Amino acid sequence: MEKKHVILIVKYLFMFNDICKYCFVKRNEFEKFTDGNCPERMKAFLQILEVKFNAYQCNIDFLLDELKITKDDLSFITYKFFNAPPKKLLENLRLWHSLRISEEEHNMNVLANKCGYEWISTFRKAFKRRFGFTYEHYKQLISNSPDKAKIINEMVDGLWK
């Protein structure tokens, strides 16, 4: 992971003790975690994402089953801490990973699979939707650029805005 994204995750790990305090203040009676496991769920969520975000089976239903929470609770966590719905968060992580490994992996099928996309067409659509151009155009842009790292960092920053 990039240093600033690791720092972001560490920041959230330190917030565990305060998460319930914030959740209970901002949520109505029907949305609260009533069992006091909010910090444990957030920690479990981050651990699952770290290990499984690039696996095919890591989708919203998988996260709900692993975390034993409702879809509303998962959405609350991802919006509150990542400013994105769960599906977009997974897509961001996968696309971020694709940018990181694109220099070492030249076969797009293999790259898509390593990033958690079972189908190359899904990867292509996600890439174009998030960046505004195709993966092929990105590879041309990178190959013609003297400062590849700058382009990649700008694209990564764009994912998290």
Determine the pLDDT at residue 119: 93
Taking residue 151's Cβ as centre, other Cβ atoms within 10 Å add up to 14
Last residue of a domain, one of 58, 83, 108: 83
Each residue's pLDDT tens digit, 141-158: 988 889 888 888 888 888
pLDDT at 26 over 60: no
Q: Are residues 73 and 21 in the same domain?
A: yes
Q: Are residues 125 and 110 in the same domain?
A: yes
Q: Are residues 69 and 101 in the same domain?
A: no
Q: Share the mean pLDDT of the chain.
A: 77
Residue 133 CB burial class (10 angstroms; 0-12, 13-18, ≥19)? exposed
Arithmetic mean of pLDDT, 114-132? 94
Q: Are residues 67 and 124 in the same domain?
A: no
Q: What proportion of the chain, given as a percentage, has pLDDT over 70? A: 75
Last residue of a domain, one of 83, 100, 130: 83
Each residue's pLDDT tens digit, 61-112: 998 898 888 888 888 888 877 788 999 988 988 998 899 888 887 889 999 9
- Is the distance from CB of 117 to CB of 134 less than 8 angstroms? no
Rounded-to-integer distance, Cα 151 and Cα 118, Å: 27
| Confidence band, pLDDT 50/70/90 cuts, at residue 39 | low
Q: Which residue range forms the structural domain that includes residue 20?
A: 3-83
pLDDT at 118 over 60: yes
- Is the distance from CB of 158 to CB of 88 less than 8 angstroms? no
Q: What is the pTM of this model?
A: 0.74
Each residue's pLDDT tens digit, 4-25: 554 455 444 444 434 444 444 4
